[in-house]
Structure 1
Amino acid sequence: MAETSFFDEQHVLHRLKVGDIDAFNATYWQYHGAIYRNILRFTKNEDTAADLLQDVFVKLWEKRDTLQPGKSISGLLFVISYHLTVNHSKKALRELLAKSELSLHQSVADSSEEASDLESQHELLERAIARLTEQKQLVFTRCKLEGKSYGEVARELGISKHTVKEHLSIAMKTVKTYIRQNGRDLLAIGLLTFLDCWG
């Protein structure tokens, strides 16, 4: 699959699901910049962000056979990034507390629970985005999940930067309200916090 300026996410998802390495590479080149920048905002460390970026795409490859048609790759990458970044922060905190001879009385979720949380959050995000009008879905996905600037999205959609900003503001309120009302407390809070800083 040759790399082009147009990225057909659903076509790529279908190819990725069956193990097409070119589809995986195309996905990496489409999203790695935005994912790296946003992980860096949380970690404040370039090496850590680079490591977590690689982990995000390893996790995507491992989960490729579970990809569902019609779902968003960018949304899944967002949720995977969130989980890996939070897990990294928890691990760093545990190590810091251990060095201080303090104990952290919180059990680490096993891998099956983590996988369940990841799937639940991806579904929650997808349902929230589905409540938006088509134009707002495009703006939200491109600005928040793909990390594009207002100017880039304005040019792609043929609207003004001001309109992009207005659409995104309304979309964010709608998505955040839905997540608050329909997500389990801790999962919803974490997802909302990450979403506020993403993109």
Structure 2
Amino acid sequence: MDNYKVLSDSELVSLLKQRDRQAFAEIYDRYSMMIYYKINQMLRDEDLSKDLVQDLFTTIWEKSDLIRDHVGISSYLYVASRNRVLNYIQRRKTKSDYLAEIGKYSLQMSHETLEKIDEKDLMLLITGEIAKLPAKMREVFELSRLEDLSHREIAERLNISESTVKKQVQNALKILKARLSHYNSLGIMLLIFLRGS
């Protein structure tokens, strides 16, 4: 195929599913700027918007088989870009909630406790406790807290439901909180996770 510009969207998607790089490049050329403007309208952050566009098109290349044949690529891109923005906003909200929790718990910590705990030692302790979690729970927790993936992204990656992901993260936090309770350091633990994300 010499001229991909004359192909319809559905023809390009069909070629994309066959791992045709030129078809992917043409889809990118047709829609990346439009998607960038749409994302930037919502976020008002040029660099972040560019990052989300790149992430979206990377996912389209890696998971082209998820694009349904009866859905137009422009509609698919619009919905996928909107979902990425909403996921980003939700993650920011979740981090804000964690910061509020950190503030609450840090007020409860005694100066004596803080003096006894070195942050590096605490991180080693937390890492050790995470390693003791059941394998599937640990995988979900690390994807959530260390790789900063949304519940939906984790569910897709591991082929499990979002509710399972949520439950695994909640259970992991309960276990870690219980194991570290004698340090009275949940606030520090959350701070460390936020810092690494």
- TM normalised by structure 2 equals 0.50
Larger Rg: 2
- TM normalised by structure 1 equals 0.49
